[in-house]
Amino acid sequence: MKTAISYKNVKKIYGDLNAVDGISIDINQGEFFGLLGPNGAGKSTMINMLAGLTKPSAGNISVMGFDVQKHYQEARHAVGIVPQELVFDPFFNVREMLRFQAGYFGKGRENDSWVDEIIERLDLTDKASTNMRMLSGGMKRRALIAQALVHKPPVIVLDEPTAGVDVELRQKLWAFIKDLNKDGHTIVLTTHYLEEAEELCNSVAMLRAGKVVAMDTTKNLLRKFSTKNLKLRLNFKGEKKLPINIEHIPHQIAEDFYTFQLKKITDITEITEGLKQSKIEIIDIQTVDTDLEDVFLKLTNAKK
């Protein structure tokens, strides 16, 4: 299978900070790839280097076989990037902005049908003649997504594309992106919505402090770190404190819900008996399988 994006021993150093510390990743053509990690992990730095906005301190990056430094023009034509920031030209309406953007990539009026399709799929039809500076934040986000797609790049990079976006647009956006992926486009996604990554991405790389701490197919990662969790809603008669005999079992607390990580099935009996002896009432009980958020928290030392 051919490689769409390749990072080879890439480093980016700012003073004493190793923002990206020797990362090597190959993303195959046609993949839906997730780039995950807490704030400061190096995700945006990797995307900025891919876009040619900042130079790596060491290593090489290529898109569709084109080195982003040596063959900048070809590499830039091969990728469409949706940034986190709402950066736009305030002098044009949505349709004008998209036509100008297409023109930068050598596409003229013959591209108008594609512009119309993007506008329709992203629900921008009613705003096509509206000046960019008059749009709401959510509409600006849609326009920036359209801008990244206007030259039909084989590789599409989405950096937190649904941040601050309503649920309806999020669903429509993902339906559109899924169709593009089915048509052969390579998609790279960074997101804080881990349920999105779990649903959409074939493979993921998890970053921490500029390094890759895990990279595999989403299914393999979930299988590797698979555990059962016991989620309980508790009613304490007195002080909100777990009995000493079950306090050692790894758990997380959210309001009245206690989620225990089960290492063995007999842990369930130990937990329920311990609560019963301490006269702590179990109001609700359920078992929960590992999801990508659990894997993410384990590998990045992040906190819920």
Q: Cα separation of 37 and 205, whole Å?
A: 8
**Mean pLDDT (whole number) for 210-216:** 88
Q: Buried (b) or exposed (e) across 137-150, using 16+ Cβ within 10 A?
A: eebbbbbbbbbbbb
Strand order in the sheet with 203-208: 79-82, 155-159, 186-190, 32-36, 203-208, 211-217
Q: pLDDT-derived band of residue 59, with 50, 70 and 90 as boundaries? A: very high
pLDDT value at 241 more than 50: yes
pLDDT, position 163: 67
The distance from CA 162 to its chain's CA centroid, rounded to whole angstroms, is 9
Is residue 171 packed enough to be buried (19+ CB in 10 Å), middle (13-18) or exposed (0-12)? exposed
Of 202, 256, 285, nearest in space to 35 by CA:
202
- Residues 62-102 pLDDT 10s: 999 999 999 999 999 999 988 776 666 777 889 988 988 88
Q: Cα separation of 245 and 112, whole Å?
A: 69
Q: Cα separation of 14 and 253, whole Å?
A: 38
Residue ranges of domains in the chain, CATH in brackets:
3-219 (3.40.50.300), 225-300 (3.30.70)
Q: Worst-scoring range by mean pLDDT, 22-31, 60-69, 114-123? A: 114-123
pLDDT, position 296: 73
Token look-up 């801008």 returns 147
* Alpha helices (H) along the chain: 43-50, 72-77, 94-104, 112-121, 137-149, 167-182, 194-200, 218-224, 266-277, 292-300
pTM of the model: 0.74
